[in-house]
Amino acid sequence: MQPGAEPKPTVLLIDDSIDTHRLLRARLKHEAMELLDAFSGEDGLATAKQVKPSLILLDLDMPGMDGFTVLRQLKGDSATATIPVVVLSGTRESEDRITAFDLGAADFITKNLNDPADLAELRARLRAALRMERLLRLLSERAEIDGLTGLGNRAQFNRRFTQELAENQRYGHPFSLAVFDADHFKKVNDTFGHPAGDEVLVGLGKIITASCRQTDVPCRFGGEEFALIMPNTTPADAKVVCERIRQALQAQVWPRHPEHQVTCSAGIAGADGATGLTAEQLLEAADKALYEAKKSGRNRVVLAEPVLAAKGS
């Protein structure tokens, strides 16, 4: 993939037929998408939650958990509810179509993959569904983007923090939250002007983003404060990431004031498993750690005491 290019959308095929998987993989190999396989409803649900594909192709007629049950569970789970689902069916029964659309399907396609006309229609509908998914995603993202840095804004932070913390509480995976604050930021504005201050905020945002994995969520929390949501990351690992960010900012040379070094402080809270804390409690723990970093001299990363990130509400 070229630098800056958007990754291919992922399409999850949930179908119990190995032949269908092989045939679709062959027929769609020239399409701009990555095809993932699931051979049962249960496997499809688990993969959808883990991968969060751009689109799901769902067979109705499967043993055990049928397609309607899978669709109902996908749309009933906040983690997968917004993923568009295109239903595949071997019949043209209008009752099945109505039920699928009532349950939230984005489209309904008759599965006759050996017919060139049906296959061409499948390709066209997949492209259309993926285009719509991308446009809706971009609109959603832009509504939650900070205009200066391009990071998520406070609204995106609130939504994603609540969502990812719920996943942590449900599955017990590691979870960490870091909050950053540019040290003596007012002095930069007062001494070198607001354009120089904006340059620092943009630069810090880029450094945080460059240190992230794709699953992390960097946001501008407000003013000169940033937040980094790190799912599946222990506090110890999060501290390594934050130290890398701190050091990169300290080493940055600024065109408007090359002689002036800018630093940041960071506070981290989280747990190696389920935190047992509400969103407000975890954010408060990270804020207290940030305050301790500021109080103890700035330009440092402080990890909240384990008891803060492990005790119940």
Burial of 7 (0-12, 13-18, 19+ CB in 10 A): exposed
Which helix (H) or strand (E) segment holds residue 25: the answer is helix 18-27
- Report residue 101: phi and psi, to 5°: -70, -35
Given the DSSP bridges, would you call strands 34-38 and 10-14 parallel, antiparallel or unpaired? parallel
| Dist CA 166 CA 244 (whole Å) | 28
Backbone angles phi, psi at 180, to 5 degrees: -115, 150
Which amino acid makes up residue 161? F
* Largest Cα–Cα separation, the chain: 73
> In the structure encoding, which two tokens stand for residue 200, read together?
């620092």
Q: Scanning the structure block, which residue is given the tokens 């051979």? A: 39
Pairing of strands 175-182, 301-303: unpaired
CA-based end-to-end distance of the chain: 45
Catalytic residue list contains 199: no
Helix (H, G, I), strand (E, B) or coil at 13: strand
Check residue 193 and report its DSSP letter.
Answer: -
The answer to whether 40 and 47 are in contact (CB under 8 A) is no
Q: Which of 3, 124, 129 is nearest to 54 (CA)?
A: 129
What DSSP string runs through 115-134?
Answer: SHHHHHHHHHHHHHHHHHHH
Catalytic residue among 133, 224, 243, 292: 224
Residues acting as catalytic residues:
224
